[in-house]
């Protein structure tokens, strides 16, 4: 069994995807072709924000937002301790200090009560300026934005939504990537909406930041005269080279249709089969609160403390069931942060999760038989 079956998805979508790729090849408009603009329009509309700016990957998307906000030395940026490395890497790369915040054990997302305590501590110590929060929609589930927004407003913090894993999710109909002052996502192949390589996007309602970020994506070019062909060689700031290839935009346009037509509903069906089939076990299952809708980037369970995870994974593997550990190490314990103030986080929930979590195969193309097989092999291995 595949952990996330991208080959099966391709088999189903082959005619549309092949024709999308071939038409870009035929047009030879490989960079900034019309499909890129079209995709930005479609995604902005879907998410319900004014601007979508595509870029090279989800990591660049966060970095570009940090640059637009002028995040840098002396700033504290609050990041969940349980996440993929980029969420804390990007602010630190800009010279800011990532301050790690513990998460909720059942949703895996940043704990708003703990965020407020950490923000108050940083403000009281006075060493850093409390500048921004990077909230992550881990495993597909939107973070607790109603509570996070209240705290950001109270302490005058900018809110970035790292929606790399959450695209397609929502809270009471309000879409992922609409919750941040700026929101970002990734189109890495294994994400809920993936392309055939690297890709990312940034979302905001703020016109000024949108202009600035478009400029940063293309070497800091002057974007004030889009119709002047020479303006693109007028560089008014330092930027990056971060664009989504036309071929990836074309692939995403055709995959997006399947994503909204049935993939999101189907992956939720798969998750529901798991939750039903595993409910009478000693496992702790992911919790989706009332009003929240996940795009299920992962289905992540927690093993009882006395279960040897490595051994369990080996038993599953012997029966052709792949499993992954997302994530084995809290952010504050990553060696890249050793000796910095980022290493001084008290995050007992994250430490416990890192020792007990296990992600099992999920994607919209799994059948009831696939799920039943995983459930029975998992029960046997336990
Ligand atoms: C994948 C991921 C990123 C980075 O996206 P890339 O496109 O791989 O650069 C950032 N944050 C989170 C939470 C992710 O899962």
pLDDT tens for each residue of 28-40: 999 999 999 999 9
- Positive or negative, the CA dihedral 358, 146, 63, 296 is positive
pLDDT at 107: 97
Of 183, 143, 189, which Cα lies nearest the Cα of 294?
143
Q: What is the DSSP letter of 325?
A: -
3-class SS of residue 98: strand
Counting ligand 1 atoms within 8 A of each CB, the residue from 56, 58, 83 with the most, and so the one to mutate, is 58
Q: Over the chain, what is the mean pLDDT?
A: 97
Counting ligand 1 atoms within 8 A of each CB, the residue from 87, 163, 300 with the most, and so the one to mutate, is 87
pLDDT at 228: 80
Query: Measuring CA to CA, how many Å separate 58 from each of 90, 103, 293?
Result: 10, 22, 21
Centroid of ligand 1 to alpha carbon of 374 (angstroms): 27
Centroid of ligand 1 to alpha carbon of 59 (angstroms): 6
Residue 347 CA to its chain's centroid (Å): 21
CA distance 379 to 2: 19
> What does the pLDDT average to over 77-97?
98
Query: What six digits make up the tokens of 296?
Result: 């299920």
- Atom 2, ligand 1: residue with shortest CA distance: 164
Place of tokens 């049935």: 262
Helix (H) or strand (E) holding 57: none
CB 76 within 8 A of CB 122: yes
pLDDT tens for each residue of 210-228: 999 999 999 999 988 777 8
**Ligand 1 binding pocket, CB closer than 6 Å:** 57-59, 83-84, 86-87, 136, 162, 164-165, 186, 188, 198, 200
CB 242 within 8 A of CB 60: yes
């Amino acid at each position: 069994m595949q952990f996330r079956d991208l080959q099966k998805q391709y088999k189903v979508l082959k005619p549309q995807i092949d024709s999308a790729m071939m038409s870009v090849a035929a047009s030879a408009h490989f960079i900034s072709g019309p499909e890129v603009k079209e995709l930005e329009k479609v995604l902005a509309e879907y998410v319900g924000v004014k601007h979508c700016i595509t870029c090279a990957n989800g990591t660049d998307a966060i970095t570009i937002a940090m640059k637009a906000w002028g995040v840098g030395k002396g700033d504290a940026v609050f990041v969940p301790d349980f996440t993929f490395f980029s969420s804390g890497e990007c602010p630190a790369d800009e010279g800011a200090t990532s301050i790690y915040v513990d998460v909720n054990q059942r949703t895996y997302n940043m704990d708003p009560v703990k965020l407020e305590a950490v923000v108050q501590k940083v403000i009281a110590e006075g060493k850093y300026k409390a500048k921004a929060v990077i909230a992550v929609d881990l495993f597909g589930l939107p973070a607790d934005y109603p509570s996070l927004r209240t705290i950001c407003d109270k302490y005058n913090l900018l809110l970035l939504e790292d929606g790399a894993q959450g695209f397609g999710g929502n809270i009471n109909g309000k879409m992922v990537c609409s919750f941040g002052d700026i929101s970002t996502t990734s189109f890495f192949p294994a994400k809920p909406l993936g392309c055939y390589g690297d890709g990312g996007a940034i979302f905001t309602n703020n016109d000024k930041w949108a202009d600035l970020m478009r400029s940063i994506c293309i070497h800091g070019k002057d974007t004030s005269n889009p119709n002047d062909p020479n303006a693109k060689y007028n560089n008014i700031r330092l930027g990056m080279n971060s664009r989504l290839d036309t071929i990836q935009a074309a692939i995403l346009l055709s995959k997006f249709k399947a994503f909204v037509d049935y993939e999101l509903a189907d992956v939720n069906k798969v998750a529901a089969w798991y939750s039903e089939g595993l409910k009478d076990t000693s496992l702790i299952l992911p919790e989706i609160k009332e009003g929240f809708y996940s795009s299920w980037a992962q289905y992540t369970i927690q093993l009882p403390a006395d279960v040897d995870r490595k051994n369990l994974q080996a038993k599953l593997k012997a029966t052709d069931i792949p499993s992954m550990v997302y994530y084995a190490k809290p952010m504050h314990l990553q060696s890249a942060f050793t000796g910095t103030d980022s290493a001084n986080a008290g995050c007992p929930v994250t430490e416990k999760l890192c020792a007990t979590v296990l992600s099992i195969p999920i994607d919209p193309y799994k059948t009831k038989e696939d799920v039943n097989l995983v459930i029975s092999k998992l029960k046997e291995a336990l």
